[in-house]
Chains A and B, each alone.
Chain A
Amino acid sequence: GESVGLHLPTLSVQEGDNSIINCAYSNSASDYFIWYKQESGKGPQFIIDIRSNMDKRQGQRVTVLLNKTVKHLSLQIAATQPGDSAVYFCAETMDSSYKLIFGSGTRLLVRP
């Protein structure tokens, strides 16, 4: 498959464990944040989003936490599965804009 990034930080977790992926965003004016998952040979796939008037949002097996004070975003994946192995990107934007600013990405490896 195609390599998304050669020098990405990597998080290795045991199947069934919880994963936490962190992201520092750049613009204090950003008010909409998204987590994307990118598998080899594919485009980024939307996982979950959060607006700046919230500090936590839950989806199916995923939770996003937002700390605006320190401009930090995290993605928690519960009971990580082999299919979760991918590169994860956070993205920020201002709601009125469709210009996404992406973080550098984290590679998640799930050990069977």
Chain B
Amino acid sequence: KAGVTQTPRYLIKTRGQQVTLSCSPISGHRSVSWYQQTPGQGLQFLFEYFSETQRNKGNFPGRFSGRQFSNSRSEMNVSTLELGDSALYLCASSLRGGSSNEQFFGPGTRLTVL
């Protein structure tokens, strides 16, 4: 079974631009969560999507948004990029509703904002 895939793996943008990151969950998984990882703040929850609806949201500004498609693939968007948005963005998928709520992480997208 293929794992969680994220594209692109690396991205360089400049301040003020916007970016879209993509995540394909494990086949059969319907929940997708997004996390931001930085050396200073560690791993922080952004949001979770299930059945195309946002179920949970972390403490990030409205510049961070996401969506989920009917095939469970998810995208997250960051608008008006700031230098502090440079981070590793991780996506995790889960069955949601199964006997375990184990989350499986992808390799991440490394975003650098110049």
Chain B interface size, under 10 / 10 to 19 / 20 to 34 / 35 or more: 20 to 34
Is the contact region of chain A dominated by helix, strand, or loop, or is it mixed? loop
B39 is contacted by which of A6, A36, A46, A101 (Cβ under 8 Å)?
Answer: A6
Is the contact region of chain B dominated by helix, strand, or loop, or is it mixed? strand
A4 touching B102, Cβ below 8 Å: no
A2 is contacted by which of B58, B88, B96 (Cβ under 8 Å)?
Answer: B88
**Contact mask B92-111 → A, CB, 8 Å, 1/0?**
10101000111111111010
CA distance in complex: A5, B64 (Å): 23
The reply on A45 being an interface residue by CB < 8 A is yes
CA distance in complex: A104, B42 (Å): 6
- Contact A99:B102 (CB < 8 A) given known A4-B37, A42-B107, A89-B43: no
Q: What residues of chain B have their CB less than 8 Å away from a CB belonging to chain A? A: 4, 31, 33, 35, 37, 39, 42-45, 48, 50, 55-56, 58, 88, 90, 92, 94, 96, 100-108, 110
Listed residue (B44, B50, B88) with the most chain A CB atoms within 10 angstroms of its CB: B88
Number of interface residues of A (CB under 8 A): 29
Which residues of A lie under 8 Å from residue B96 when comparing CB positions?
Answer: 98
B102 touching A98, Cβ below 8 Å: no
Having A44-B105, A104-B42, A105-B43, one finds 16 other A-B pairs with CB under 8 Å, namely A2-B88, A2-B110, A43-B90, A43-B105, A43-B107, A44-B90, A46-B103, A89-B42, A95-B101, A98-B31, A98-B96, A98-B103, A99-B58, A100-B45, A100-B92, A101-B45
